[in-house]
A and B are shown apart, each in its own frame.
Chain A
């Protein structure tokens, strides 16, 4: 079966760095997305990786290793507004988008 695993919840301190991991087992691979979702709101796009390596976008970076079925989202200089859920999603060989359950990130002052 197809599966995406993310930690359910993480806690970090304002100003620090946090890494949210995502591992996947899917029938094929055509790219990986990260979305941010604040409580009670819609998911919003953060990043897309299709090749191995690190993509940096301001305070957020996303890494992909296709051979390991692994990605992480790195958030630097954490701010209180970064408290949200972070969703990992993978497109499989049928171009179906498979979503993880999300990681709830709690930022403490």
Chain B
């Protein structure tokens, strides 16, 4: 059982380039989330999806977009990367959209924008 997989593991990207971070889960969870984690700050929610076909904005959505075409996949796209988007990105999922449900995290993508 893989749980949640993310790709790539790490990436160095030139500013202005477009980049898609991939996230796939095999737990048939309804809800999925994208977070960024920066040193000294808590996890910050970028976008979320309560169920396939729906998405919503989190705390820091600017510069990012997501789609949820099916239950398993939840890609995050940076349309034109900027250095402030250098961070570790975690994808997570939970059985339902009730926030009291435990969230399960992928291994993360370390992104550096130069």
Overall SS of chain B's interface: loop
Counting contact residues on chain B (CB < 8 A from A), the size range is 10 to 19
Contacts of A89 in B (CB 8 A): 42-43
B77-114 CB mask vs A (1 if < 8 Å, else 0) is 00000000000001000000011101111111000000
Whether a CB of chain B sits under 8 angstroms from the CB of A48 is yes
Contacts of A96 in B (CB 8 A): 45, 99
Contacts of B40 in A (CB 8 A): 8, 101
Contact of A50 among B100, B104, B107, B108 (CB under 8 A): B100
CB distance from B78 to the nearest CB of A (A): 21
Task: Verify A95–B102 contact, CB threshold 8 A.
Answer: no
Known: A41-B107, A42-B107, A43-B90. A30 touches B100 (CB 8 A): yes
Alpha-carbon distance between A36 and B107 when the two chains are bound, in angstroms: 13
Contact of A91 among B45, B99, B105, B108 (CB under 8 A): B99
Contact of B43 among A30, A31, A41, A87 (CB under 8 A): A87
Whether a CB of chain B sits under 8 angstroms from the CB of A98 is yes
Task: Verify B41–A101 contact, CB threshold 8 A.
Answer: yes
Task: Verify A43–B102 contact, CB threshold 8 A.
Answer: no
Chain B interfacial positions (CB closer than 8 Å to A): 40-45, 90, 98-100, 102-108
